[in-house]
Amino acid sequence: MSYSDYRKVLKQIQNKPAKLKRFMKHNTPKKIKYGARVKRCSLSGNPHAYIQKYGLNLSRQAFRQIATKLGFKKYN
């Protein structure tokens, strides 16, 4: 089977339980547990310059936009 999307194959083997079980075990995408793709900004979805501190879970750019609303002050 040379399909680019695993969901196309699922339609074909829905009525074949043995093949479906084997296919689901080996070919479905795995849930991402760690790495840069897991940590994303909650506003923009940007994975770069991610701030986790204080439970912010924002990118640097999104934090700068809403920092005053959150109560942060800019000191010179």
In a 13 Å sphere around the CA of 45, the CA atoms on its Cβ side amount to 0
Return the HEC string of the chain.
CCCCCHHHHHHHCCCCHHHHHHHHHHHCCCCCCCCCCCCCCCCCCCCCCEECHHHCCEEHHHHHHHHHHHCCCCCC
All domains of the chain, ordered by start, with CATH? 1-30 (no CATH), 33-76 (4.10.830.10)
Percent of all residues in the chain with a pLDDT value above 70, rounded to a whole number = 95
The tens digit of pLDDT for each residue in 11-34 reads: 888 899 999 999 888 887 888 888
| Residue 7 CB neighbours (<10 A) | 8
